[in-house]
Structure 1
Amino acid sequence: KIYLTAKQQQPLSPDSKPVQNEKKQLQKLTGKKVNYKVEKQTYHLTTDNVITSATYKNGQYHFNTAVIDKKIKQINKKQATLGKAFKFKTPDGKEITTTRDGSYGWKISAERAGKSLANAIAEGKSSVNAKADIYGIGYNRRGTGYGVTENDGIGNTYAVISIADQHAWFYKNGKCVDDVDVVTGKMSNKADQTPKGVWYIMYKQSPSVLKGTSDNGSKYSSKVQYWAQFTDSGCGFHDASWRHNWSKTAYLNDGSNGCANMHPSDAGEAYNSLEVNEPVIIY
């Protein structure tokens, strides 16, 4: 037999010191204002716009910020560039609208924004920059192009590939610094076609080894001197010393597996013209 001594614990009264302290800390949040800066735009928010509910325990705030989700959705619709169709002037002067496909761009995470703004209110900060709250896709999950507002968000440093012209141009601060003929993905096989849209240079490597599977199922491993990847699926700029067909129609039936093949004599200068995270417009 085990005999236990009964003990009773009463809930804290509203007037108790711990409860009064929690009440005091929570009251500090009410009626506050914070500016949310998204690129060149500033949004004026209050506690009610940011914090749905809050608790204070063991010296720390815990927030529910679901109320901010709708506002962040509105801001993303107005300003975010991830998944956007960009208006773009091609090297030959034509105005086009790109497809919505691609990895270039940024969006604001409502969850991150909620935490940033709620913490700012708690700490008495007057403003928050959205840069810390953005995300992207592809190699750089923190987003690309935030703060770039020129040229519909593409900026003035970028690479362009014209599938029809089988040519690539490389721009630096608005000036074309190099251009080369390319052979893009094989049009006769949809899986090999170079994807249109706005991507970005994920990383550069020189030299490099390209590994993959050919259309017939065989594995390949090809050494290249220059490699700059721009899609998750493995498309990029590279020299192709093994290629013999450099005609303007090669891409129709004798193209690459999706990459932009460059002649070895052209590849070095083109590679050096590229910057990590810069946009690659393919149309």
Structure 2
Amino acid sequence: MIKLASLLGGLCLIYGLIVTHYQTVFCPNTTLSGLTIAGKTIAQANTSLQQQLAKKTIRIVKKQQLIVQTTGQALHLKHDYTQQLKILKAQQNPWAWPLHLFKPSASKAAQPLPYQVSSTSLQSLNQAVLAKTKTKPVPISAPTIVKTKTGFAFSKNKTQAVLVPEKLTPLIQRQLQQGRTTINIQAAYQKPPASPKPPALTAALTRLNQLAQQKIVYQIFGKTVQIPKTTIMSWLTYQSNTIEIDRAAVTAYIQKLSDQFGTIDKTRAFKTHDGQVVQVPAGTYGWSLQIAQEAAILSQQLLNGTDFTRQPLTRGYNYNDQGIDIGDTYIEVSKSAQHLWYYQKGQVVLETPIVTGKPGQDTPIGVFVIWNKDRHTVLKGLNEDGSDYASPVEYWLPIDSTGIGIHDAPWQPQYGGTWYQTNGSHGCINTPPNIMAQLYDQVTTGTPVIVY
């Protein structure tokens, strides 16, 4: 019992001596401003913290870009930590020092006082920053009108922001006084004010956006096509203080419409008299847009700035508002059957055997058109041997631009079958005179002729 009492007494004495020690110094595991100050008095800790402040790296940055790097010692930074240390020391219980061995001291001290920097040091720092950030200002460009994804707008001022010395000094000083070691000077940069927009330019911008928002619709071959606003905008330009239309782009657009809806150059699927479907290449029948004329009209109407709907100018045959191509009134010519049928409103009203071109002078296939009617004419050309021929005919229905047509042929002793192989025409469609007279009287110009 005596030994145990002696042991406990010794331990208490040692514990008391340690408590006495921590009455004047900081407990284990105590830090301030990132520096360990355990076992130090307030004065010693203050000295150590001031030494640490002298070694601190001070970085001047613009956003993330480093401009200048220095140290607290070079700037003669000063800060008395005594007040914070006293607050931290007052929060510690020396009798509970063992708890600090396992848990860092929870500092409830006030925020550090501002770093103090002399005006001389601050001026030197400013000069170093200015030396590193000298930039040549980009001249202020005059405002212009540019295209965006949604319309027209003024061009953005591309002038480079420059450092304003008058803003730099208070900005650095303020951040040092906040205890910062990384000082961002982005706020000291400033762009010159944008140039004023001339009234005429402002009016042009308003007008361009008005023109780009027009609703322009084509009624074309039974279809409705609205020109996209993005397309209209792409045609508009502003050059030399004038709003202009890109005529080449407008012409290309009209050409695209002609290619899409026009029929003059298209192969057609044709249902023959016996229900077969054949592919017949393009001939003289069909229509296309008048590209140049239509582009000029569209460009002029677009500049008026009001919504409009129009039908395009066309050339050729059988343009209509219903989108009907061959229709139900036409002449069908089968070279293999050596036969002709004339349909009116879907019904055969006339048919006859015929004689087409002799092999080597074949009748062309395609979708053609009766573009004229003539009486008592003489057909002229060359025979196979190169000699001239002249054939008077009573009825003449030309169907292409090379001299091919439908006519009476009183010199033919027979029609149909294989007679054309040895006694065929020079390419025309020979028709019995009595039938040709009826066909001539009934058919009208513009009637399609399908030869296959």
TM-score by shorter chain over 0.5? yes
State the identity %. 29
Structure 2 length as normaliser, TM-score? 0.50
Match of 2:332 in 1: 160
Matched, 1:114 2:295: yes
Give the secondary structure class of the aligned counterpart of 1:115.
helix
Matched, 1:149 2:323: yes
> What value does the CA root-mean-square deviation take over the aligned residues?
2.9
- Give the superposition deviation at 1:77: 4.3
- Give the superposition deviation at 1:15: 6.6
Contact 2:339 2:416 in 1 (8 A): no
Q: Deviations over 1:74-128 (max 9, x none)?
A: 4344422122111111011212221x23121122344333223222223435111
Matched, 1:52 2:216: no
- Give the superposition deviation at 1:231: 1.2
* Amino acid in the other structure paired with 2:276: K
Contact 2:235 2:246 in 1 (8 A): yes
Which structure dedicates a bigger proportion of its chain to strand?
Answer: 1
Q: Deviations over 1:27-77 (max 9, x none)?
A: 7634222111112211112565246246899xx986433333554454344
Give the secondary structure class of the aligned counterpart of 1:206.
strand
* Amino acid in the other structure paired with 1:113: E
CA distance in 1, matches of 2:243, 2:358: 57
CA distance in 2, matches of 1:244, 1:211: 21
CA distance in 2, matches of 1:61, 1:87: 46
Match of 1:206 in 2: 375
Give the secondary structure class of the aligned counterpart of 1:114.
helix
* Structure 1 residue corresponding to 2:417, chosen from 248, 251, 256: 248
Match of 2:271 in 1: 89
Match of 2:345 in 1: 173
Rate the CA distance shift 1:143–1:121 in 2: closer, same or farther, 3 A: same
* Amino acid in the other structure paired with 1:166: Q
Rate the CA distance shift 1:127–1:234 in 2: closer, same or farther, 3 A: same
* Amino acid in the other structure paired with 1:174: G
Matched, 1:185 2:357: yes
* Amino acid in the other structure paired with 1:175: Q
- Number of aligned residue pairs: give it: 252
CA distance in 1, matches of 2:374, 2:420: 25
Which structure dedicates a bigger proportion of its chain to helix?
Answer: 2
Contact 2:219 2:310 in 1 (8 A): yes
5+ unaligned residues in a row in structure 1: which ranges? 1-13, 135-141
**Larger Rg: 1 or 2?**
2
- Give the superposition deviation at 1:212: 1.5
CA distance in 1, matches of 2:428, 2:307: 48
CA distance in 2, matches of 1:219, 1:33: 60
- Give the superposition deviation at 1:143: 1.3
Match of 1:216 in 2: 385
CA distance in 1, matches of 2:438, 2:323: 28
Give the secondary structure class of the aligned counterpart of 1:253.
helix
Q: Deviations over 1:223-266 (max 9, x none)?
A: 21100000111110100122224351111121000000011121
Q: Deviations over 1:191-244 (max 9, x none)?
A: x10001111111110122212222222222222110000011111010012222
Higher relative contact order (CA 8 A, sep 6+): 1
Contact 1:32 1:46 in 2 (8 A): no
* Amino acid in the other structure paired with 2:284: S
Contact 1:224 1:238 in 2 (8 A): yes
* Structure 1 residue corresponding to 2:365, chosen from 196, 203, 212: 196
CA distance in 2, matches of 1:106, 1:257: 28
CA distance in 2, matches of 1:167, 1:247: 7
Rate the CA distance shift 1:247–1:16 in 2: closer, same or farther, 3 A: closer
Rate the CA distance shift 1:111–1:74 in 2: closer, same or farther, 3 A: same
